[in-house]
Amino acid sequence: MSAVLERPAPAAASQTQPRIEINDVSLRYFTTAGETQALDRISLDVAPGEFVSLIGQSGCGKSTLLSLMAGILEPSSGEVRVHGERVKGPSPRVGYMLQQDYLFEWRSILDNATLGAQIQGRPMREARERAAHLLHKCGMGDFLHHFPRQLSGGMRQRVALARTLVTDPDVVLLDEPFSALDSQTRLAIADEVVEVLRDEGKSVVLVTHDIGEAIAMTDRVVVLSRRPGRIKSQHLMRFDSHGPGRPSPFEVRSLPEFNTYFSLLWDELDVHVEG
As measured in angstroms, the least distance from the Cβ of 57 to ligand ATP is 7
Q: Three-state DSSP class for 236?
A: strand
What does the per-residue mask of binding to ligand ATP show for 52-71, with x meaning CB under 6 A?
Answer: ----x-xxxxxxx-------
Residue ranges of the alpha helices (H) in 114-178?
Answer: 115-119, 124-137, 153-165
- Does the footprint of ligand ATP cover residue 203 (CB under 6 A)? no
Candidate list 2, 7, 26, 29; residue touching ligand ATP; CB under 6 A: 29
- Does the footprint of ligand ATP cover residue 226 (CB under 6 A)? no
- Does the footprint of ligand ATP cover residue 75 (CB under 6 A)? no
- Does the footprint of ligand ATP cover residue 230 (CB under 6 A)? no
- Does the footprint of ligand ATP cover residue 31 (CB under 6 A)? yes
Give CA–CA dist 126/131, Å, rounded: 8
- Does the footprint of ligand ATP cover residue 36 (CB under 6 A)? yes
Max Cα separation, the chain?
59
63-92 core/surface letters (b: 16 or more CB in 10 A; e: else): bbbbbbbbbebebeebebbbbeeebeeebe
Q: Output the CA angle 50-73-12, nearest 5 degrees.
A: 25
Candidate list 22, 38, 47, 193; residue touching ligand ATP; CB under 6 A: 38
As measured in angstroms, the least distance from the Cβ of 82 to ligand ATP is 19
- Does the footprint of ligand ATP cover residue 184 (CB under 6 A)? no
- Does the footprint of ligand ATP cover residue 202 (CB under 6 A)? no
The count of chain residues that interact with ligand ATP, using the rule CB under 6 A, is: 13
Give CA–CA dist 269/275, Å, rounded: 18
Stretch that binds ligand ATP, among 29-37, 126-134, 245-253, 262-270 (CB under 6 A): 29-37
Give CA–CA dist 10/136, Å, rounded: 32
Nearer to ligand ATP, 67 or 114 (CB): 67
Nearer to ligand ATP, 49 or 59 (CB): 59
Residues with Cβ < 8 Å from 128, sequence gap 6 or more? 110, 114
As measured in angstroms, the least distance from the Cβ of 61 to ligand ATP is 4
How many C-beta atoms surround the C-beta of residue 98 within 10 A? 19
Question: Is the distance from CB of 203 to CB of 170 less than 8 angstroms?
Answer: yes
Residues of this chain that bind ligand ATP (CB under 6 A): 29, 31, 36, 38, 56, 58-64, 227
